[in-house]
Amino acid sequence: MTHKLLLLTRENDKYRELLSNCNLPHLTILGDSPDSIMQSDIWFAEPNLAAPLLNHAKNLRWLQSTFAGVDKLISTRQRRDYILTNIRGIFGPLMSEYLFGYLLAHQRQHQKYQQQQQQKQWLPGSYQTLQGQHLLLLGTGSIAQHIASTAKHFGMTVTGINRQGMATASFDKVGTLAQLNDFLPKADVIASVLPHTEETHNILNQHTLTLLKPKAMLFNLGRGNVLDLDDLDSHLSQHPEQQAILDVFNQEPLPAEHPIWARSNAIITPHIAAPSFPEQVVEVFCHNYALWLKQQPLINLVDFTKGY
């Protein structure tokens, strides 16, 4: 039997080239014409591009997402009669680079020393080391586990929050979302890598933000809707010593008129913390395709009811 693959990304040429280096027997790669959408049984797709076309996908049996975030595909109105796999695991190291890059830049005062250099001033000052500081991670999946292991390497104490409060490697302690209000006041650094679900929607809001330490740093790296951005903006205006580093937003690109762009204690980056490198996405797909041919379970399966 021959399989038909629909390529549905903003980098189809790049992916076509990479896929040609893979051993993919019995597979024909199609473009994204209406015919291809109807005929293909396998999709290799960005969730936001695939979502509006799902209802025309008569033959769809398996969709390999090129992203980690698949919320566009699992809203309750969408069909769920196919196998959905996503990208995982490869993001941990990139997220750690992003998080610890900004964390160290802030704590080791890059900006202050840059200004001093501009004025040719030699003024050594004191600072905090990460050693002994407390990191609270919202999420304990593969990305959070990698961040936790980096934090432990830097001598931090790490608490994680997940659905069941189940213990996980690299964390000193793990609690549930219901304990968020107990954990927030103890954390020097808070980082959310949570997916967007009903339970995580806007859990960081004007009420919970008041629980932060006076000099807390808050990262949002998972999904924009875990955080109420307007609440955060007004909170930051009243807490100039706190710092927010945001890579994901409810609406992307973040609209130019949003006041948080200009907030001096907010850092805004355009969803770059952990992009999927095409080489790694192709590696996952090729591995999964081999399993598919052998009718074995695929890796990185998404559970539609959990949402991740």
Residues that bind a copy of itself (CB under 8 A): 93-94, 96-98, 100-102, 104-105, 107-108, 110, 113-114, 116-117, 120, 122-127, 129-131, 149-150, 153-155, 252-254, 256, 261-262, 267-272, 275, 277
| Least Å from the CB of residue 104 to a copy of itself | 3
- Please compute, for residue 37, the number of CA atoms within 13 A of its CA located in the half-sphere on the CB side: 14
Nearer to a copy of itself (CB atom), residue 185 or residue 275: 275
Nearer to a copy of itself (CB atom), residue 129 or residue 206: 129
229/37 Cα distance (integer angstroms): 37
The gap from C-alpha 86 to its chain's centroid, in whole angstroms, comes to 12
| Least Å from the CB of residue 292 to a copy of itself | 28
Q: Are residues 191 and 151 in contact, defined by beta-carbon separation less than 8 angstroms?
A: no
Q: Are residues 281 and 288 in contact, defined by beta-carbon separation less than 8 angstroms?
A: no
Nearer to a copy of itself (CB atom), residue 72 or residue 258: 258
| Least Å from the CB of residue 142 to a copy of itself | 15
Q: Are residues 85 and 302 in contact, defined by beta-carbon separation less than 8 angstroms?
A: yes
| Least Å from the CB of residue 77 to a copy of itself | 28
Nearer to a copy of itself (CB atom), residue 240 or residue 275: 275
Cα-based distances in Å from 254 to 48, 224, 258, 272, 278? 17, 10, 7, 13, 25
Nearer to a copy of itself (CB atom), residue 23 or residue 126: 126
| Tokens 């952990």 sit on residue | 274
Q: Are residues 6 and 37 in contact, defined by beta-carbon separation less than 8 angstroms?
A: yes
Q: How many residues does the chain have?
A: 308
Nearer to a copy of itself (CB atom), residue 118 or residue 295: 118
Nearer to a copy of itself (CB atom), residue 102 or residue 171: 102
| Least Å from the CB of residue 107 to a copy of itself | 8
Neighbours of 157 (CB within 10 A): 18
| Least Å from the CB of residue 158 to a copy of itself | 14
Helix (H), strand (E) at residue 284: helix 278-293
DSSP string, 146-193: HHHHHHHHTT-EEEEEESS----TT-SEEEEGGGHHHHGGG-SEEEE-
Nearer to a copy of itself (CB atom), residue 97 or residue 230: 97
Q: Furthest-apart CA pair in the chain: how many Å?
A: 72
| Tokens 């595909």 sit on residue | 73
DSSP string, 5-66: EEEESTTHHHHHHHHHTS--TTEEEE-S-HHHHHH-SEEEE-HHHHGGGGGG-TT--EEEES
| Least Å from the CB of residue 240 to a copy of itself | 17
| Least Å from the CB of residue 169 to a copy of itself | 15
